Structure 1
Amino acid sequence: MELPRRRMRAVAAGTLSLALAAVGGALVTTVANAAAGCRVTYAVSSSWPGGFGANVTVTNLGDPVNGWTLTWTFGAGQTIGQLWNGTVTQTGAQVSVANVPYNASIATGASASFGFNGTWNGTNPAPVSFALNGTACTGAVGSPSASASTSASASASTSASASASASASPSTSTSPRPGTGGSGPYPANYETSGGLPNHTIYRPETLPAERLPIFVWGEGGCSANGTASLPFLREIASHGFLVLASGAPNGSGTTTAAMLTQSMDWAVAENARQGSKYYGRLDTGKIAVAGWSCGGLEAYEVSNDPRVTTTGIFSSGLLNDANDYQLRRLTKPIAYFVGGPSDIAYGNAMDDWGKLPAGLPAFMGNLNVGHGGTYTQTNGGEFGRVTVLYLKWRLKGDTAAGTTFVGANCGLCGTQWTVQQKNLTL
């Protein structure tokens, strides 16, 4: 099974690497008189001689967008070869990426993401401006008629400084706190804590009487943006979970596996600290650690922590057979949620699946949506729905939810999902 791992490293290392650089911008809709604005993060996630991988995330700060095309100009002759979660057209230096059906809508406070592999020769500077639906990105919520002359900063360092300044000013904030949301019984929101820097905390707005199990999350591309998958994570919290995501709200930079451990440490400490709003309100004996893409690799690294109840691997798989020791030390149930054969992590995930320890309870679900999943869709889309059911089963003991995954007639069996099971019982 060495071939899938080589393919992942050479062809699609983009979303699984740790090196990121950010460029900020703004987004506008084409709806007349709509309040518009966004933040665009362009992240070069890996680079090799003659090639590179990159991720682009658009966070909508204005009115909802339904159907989008993002355009930019490469400054050094770069070309895009393979792109996922969008449709690309490139003429010379001019690049246009349009949505695909499952990510056409971007709600207020939500994001849409796509990634690509490209080629470069000599230098690989980040694009200096973006436009959405033909309107220049300006970095502020305002009129759709903004001038293209107010384009995004050319450098990641300048963008980061601008973002920090904007956060300090309510009138130009790049990180608005969205309204409560999620389909669960406990409308949820996010917050931060000085005791857990560089993380984003999702919780029910009003803490329920029941204790909250804990879901710890690492983002795709090891991106330190704790709100990149906001609809997905808020949906989980709305069903009575405390969700701790590595990365500050709309943050930049990279994460590490140690940040997942920090999340667990903080939750355990807050549950025991008198005066904390979480005092005695968390179920610290029920912790899931999970991550998407590069975040999944981080989840593997800490999955042997004795506090972990279950591990979730989302569109991810080990990149090198030398890391197979991480599979051999697994003792708690694990679940894979992968984007089907078109997912660049598919081969690696399936290779890991074949190497799991004998007797380990494991679930494998493939939904043919590609590497980007459905995290930015309303309430996290299908991945959000299924993840909530899995967590209800594994962290809350809900056997009715467990029937979604267990047995020949499981709830996902015979549906749009392709399902495999190992050693699963209710």
Structure 2
Amino acid sequence: MLAGAVGLATAAAAGLLTTTAAQAAPGCGVDYTVSSSWPGGFTAAVAVTNLGDPLTGWKLTWSFTAGQTVTQLWNGSVAQSGSQVTVTNAAYNGTVATGGTVSFGFNGTWTGSNPKPASFTLNGVLCTGSVGGSPTPTPGDPTPTPTATPTSSPTPNDPTPSPGGPTPPPVSSVGGSGPYPAGYETVSNLDNHTLYRPASFPSRPLPVFLWGNGGCAANGTTALPFLREIASHGFLAISNGRPNGSGTETAAMLTQSMNWVVAENSRPGSWYYGRIDTTKIAVAGWSCGGLEAYEVSNDARVSTTMIFSSGLLDDNNDYQLRRLTKPIAYFVGGPGDIAYPNAMDDWGKLPSGLPAFMGNLPVGHGGTYGQTNGGEFGRVAVLYLKWRLLGDRTAGQTFVGGNCGLCANTQWTVQQKNLTL
């Protein structure tokens, strides 16, 4: 985030953040949501609804009231001067139809308090949620007739807007054992990630599986067979890092993926438009990636957390366990896994009442991610996702009860807490 802040400041100083010339919006509404917050930082999602004539470019401005600072923004360009923030459309989302919604997100810093901005202005017009920019009647005026909220465009949290995106392009390296052969692709507006999806979309929206790699490696194809297997069962799996990429990934990249799926699901013109279930998101990771999954597991959009051969390295980070509220599952490589002691220590510190599964398979720290279809970890991960994100009770029997599918006549050693079907 510090690098993002420096980059933004440098761009603003160099005059690289330009303003798009566009017509004014006679009416607009803004939904500003703080989706995640931690000491000194936060993530926000912003959805702007155009209630006026179609726009070919937009500029949204607001002022922070408590000294907050934007450090990293996606789906737009940002400039901040003191408390005033200006966000301008990206090249791909400047066109907004009447009743249409455009979304972006950002990370920021705060101290003391983090109140929401009091007002927003779109292309110079105050956004009031109604046409004309004057929501408050003056004394003596008759009670105004409420303006109906447009329903033709989805909100960012709507998992099922009407699909209408273009035909998706082919994906690379198609395979997997599921009913929807899958491969991977990259997209320009999430270019530091690798997306695994079915070559042809199923009729239902795709639940989401977000993945952090072992070794904090920003290589999106490190676990290709494993991630492709998950996608072939009708999921959208997004890995930190480009295909065969280099460098180091961060937990913020998982949050970036979350914000991206919300924005793309509601963006007309995207081939993911209306095809992602943004109410069903799993965050997961292997080794270092598991530590990253812990960091973002308190995001309100997360449905479940999956920790693969990982555990907290420092007791000072135990607060990440105490704030868990959604089901969690551990898939560890047994006593020979270097992460085994840490994972078991975390298991003993989970909040009382939290639904949790612990499975140990004696394969060591390397897991089975590179085996055909992700090996046994791939098979079990798919079943867990079908249970938690698709509501498949049969798949849930793999994990629940004394006679669970992994409990007897398998190489797995299983522990359970507060699990019910």
Output the TM-score relative to the length of structure 2.
0.59
2:415 maps to amino acid = Q
Residue number among 239, 248, 263 corresponding to 2:242 in the alignment? 248
Residue 271 of structure 2 corresponds to residue 277 of structure 1: yes
Residue number among 387, 390, 393 corresponding to 1:399 in the alignment? 393
**Do 2:306 and 2:331's aligned partners in 1 also have CA atoms closer than 8 Å?**
yes
Distance 2:179 2:346 in 1: 36
Residue 187 of structure 2 corresponds to residue 187 of structure 1: no
Residue number among 414, 422, 425 corresponding to 2:420 in the alignment? 425
Q: After TM superposition, what 4+ stretches of structure 1 lie above 4 angstroms from structure 2?
A: none
Counting only pairs closer than 5 Å after superposition, residues 125-204 of structure 1 correspond to structure 2 as 178-204=172-198
Residue 351 of structure 2 corresponds to residue 357 of structure 1: yes
Residue number among 406, 414, 417 corresponding to 1:412 in the alignment? 406
**Do 2:369 and 2:375's aligned partners in 1 also have CA atoms closer than 8 Å?**
yes
Distance 1:325 1:354 in 2: 14
2:330 maps to amino acid = Y
Distance 2:174 2:274 in 1: 24
Higher relative contact order (CA 8 A, sep 6+): 1
Structure 2 match to 1:382: 376
Residue 181 of structure 2 corresponds to residue 211 of structure 1: no
Look up the SS of the partner of 2:190 in the other structure: coil
Residue number among 324, 332, 335 corresponding to 2:329 in the alignment? 335
Look up the SS of the partner of 1:260 in the other structure: helix
Look up the SS of the partner of 2:359 in the other structure: strand
Residue 306 of structure 2 corresponds to residue 291 of structure 1: no
1:388 maps to amino acid = V
Residue number among 193, 199, 219 corresponding to 1:225 in the alignment? 219
Look up the SS of the partner of 2:341 in the other structure: helix
Structure 1 match to 2:10: none
How large is the RMSD of aligned CA atoms in angstroms?
A: 1.1
> Per-residue deviation at 1:318?
0.1
Structure 2 match to 1:310: 304
Distance 1:379 1:247 in 2: 20
1:247 maps to amino acid = G
> Per-residue deviation at 1:197?
1.7
Look up the SS of the partner of 1:416 in the other structure: coil
Look up the SS of the partner of 1:285 in the other structure: strand
Distance 2:191 2:277 in 1: 22
Distance 1:333 1:179 in 2: 32
**Do 2:173 and 2:184's aligned partners in 1 also have CA atoms closer than 8 Å?**
no
Distance 1:399 1:212 in 2: 18
Distance 1:268 1:403 in 2: 31
Look up the SS of the partner of 2:208 in the other structure: strand
Distance 2:275 2:191 in 1: 21
**Do 2:210 and 2:284's aligned partners in 1 also have CA atoms closer than 8 Å?**
yes
Look up the SS of the partner of 2:173 in the other structure: coil
Residue number among 301, 320, 325 corresponding to 2:319 in the alignment? 325
Residue 348 of structure 2 corresponds to residue 345 of structure 1: no
Give the number of equivalent residue pairs.
Answer: 251
1:202-250 Cα distance to aligned partner (Å, 9 max, x none): 0000011111000000000010000000000000000000001000000
Consecutive unaligned residues in structure 1, runs of 5 or more = 1-176
Structure 2 match to 1:264: 258
Distance 2:206 2:172 in 1: 22
> Per-residue deviation at 1:179?
2.9
1:355 maps to amino acid = K
**Do 2:333 and 2:365's aligned partners in 1 also have CA atoms closer than 8 Å?**
yes
Distance 1:388 1:183 in 2: 11
Structure 1 match to 2:107: none
Distance 2:400 2:254 in 1: 28
Structure 1 match to 2:153: none
Distance 2:177 2:343 in 1: 30
Structure 2 match to 1:10: none
Distance 1:179 1:325 in 2: 40
Distance 1:198 1:254 in 2: 11
1:229 maps to amino acid = A
Identical amino acids, percent of aligned pairs:
79
Look up the SS of the partner of 1:347 in the other structure: helix
1:334 maps to amino acid = I
**Do 2:297 and 2:305's aligned partners in 1 also have CA atoms closer than 8 Å?**
yes
> Per-residue deviation at 1:178?
4.5
Consecutive unaligned residues in structure 2, runs of 5 or more = 1-170
Structure 2 match to 1:171: none
Distance 2:172 2:354 in 1: 40
1:37-68 Cα distance to aligned partner (Å, 9 max, x none): xxxxxxxxxxxxxxxxxxxxxxxxxxxxxxxx
Structure 2 match to 1:238: 232
2:344 maps to amino acid = M
